[in-house]
Amino acid sequence: MVLRVGLCLIDRDLLGLTHFTILPAHCTVCTGMSRSSRIIWGFAATGLLAAALVFSYMRFSRVFHVLLVSSVVSDHANSVALDSLQRRLRAGDIPNLHSVLVIQHDQVIAEWYFEGADEERGIRRLGIIKFGPATLHDVRSVTKSIVSLLFGIAIADHDISSLDSPVLDYFPEYTDLQTPERRKIRLRDLLPMTSGLHWDEWSYPYTDIRNSEIAMDRSPDRYRYILSQPIDSAPGTQWRYSGGDAALVAAVVTRSTKVPIDIYAGKKLFAPLGITKFVWLKDGQGIPFAASGLRLLPSDMAKIGFLLLHDGRDPSGHQIVSESWLRESTTPQVTAVEDKSCTIKYGYFWWLGARACLQDSAVCRHGQWWSVDLGFTLTGYRDRHRGGTLQQPSAEPRARSARCSGRRVKPPATR
């Protein structure tokens, strides 16, 4: 099983990393790992920002206290591979990277940072930035996956009683919307983006008011805007990519816990992991953007990866997110993208797909993106608990560019 948010890969032959397994990540981002507990991950931008993470079976506790760059690499072949990777990075063979870290045996054994364009949510340009270890990165739609983790924490704390609760129970002020048809929409319909409410983020660029998310952002009442949309399909039956569903889930967390979701995240998820530096962008009313508002450090994204690989526990063994929630939220709930050769499923704000999907892909042109998500690629996540091994790479041997799998559509303007 491959768990991901991003939908691209870059060929391992291009990197010269013969001892690395290349797995699906996001456009123009190279990711890889070896069977000897190695991580390599990077942040990228093409006038915007993307990111990728790949995690192997590893012990990673010391990274939480100190990140040291080590010049010692025990495996000579991998040392040669790292040298080759560095040359290719410096030569621009893998364009638009902001940072790359390689972590082995709890230490950063290689670390590179670059200059590149930065933005906030694909809307506000921040100019050319010289990235470094203390530079926050625009993680875009991985924010949705963080919201999923926070929802799971609220469930475990009994702040949210049931996934089968009607969504409108949490919005009693909208008395005119409390119709039998709309009250059929449950919390469990929001998490896999199957609310049935009309939503269209893919037909128009994120600068166009006809884009549902932009219309929501500009609405004086974002929750009324979402909940008053026409019902296009029965709840739980049809998937639509929806920042609106994510906004409602975040609102449910806030209303259930009586804590704004950015503060809740800082207290319940980030602080236990030692994540102290982050920004969660807000709208004009002070509401955090649940679909794409987070900015995080590269090293802190690795800490979240550690959490996922260790059944929701931090390095001390403290349970932050319940194992049962991780299992449920990464179980396929609905088919998101499907064509003759590829099926991509969706969980609770997690993309889920088989390796074969990556072989039938559309080319990512420079600056053309139909999604800009932080990609968590966890290979063998379930098999790890059953004594399984890492899956083998699926990249074509001579591919020379990043490629996006999924919908064969002309991407809208960048986000």
Query: Residues 145-183: pLDDT tens digits?
Result: 999 999 999 999 999 999 999 999 999 999 999 999 999
How far is residue 312's CA from residue 273's CA, in Å, rounded to a whole number? 11
Mean pLDDT of all residues in the chain? 70
Predicted confidence band of residue 312 (pLDDT cuts 50, 70, 90): very high
Asked whether residue 362 carries a pLDDT value surpassing 70, the answer given is: no
pTM of the model: 0.72
Q: Where does the chain hold its CATH 3.40.710.10 domain(s)?
A: 138-328
**CA 192 to CA 187: how far, in whole Å?**
10
Cα–Cα distance between 186 and 283 in angstroms, integer?
26
Buried b (16+ CB within 10 A) or exposed e, 204-220: bbbeeeebbbbbbbeee
Task: Specify which of 83-97, 256-270, 355-369 reaches the highest per-range mean pLDDT.
Answer: 256-270
Q: Tell me what pLDDT residue 138 has.
A: 85
Q: Name the nearest CA neighbour of 336 among 238, 212, 198.
A: 238
Give the pLDDT score at 84. 80
Domain 138-328 has CATH 3.40.710.10: yes
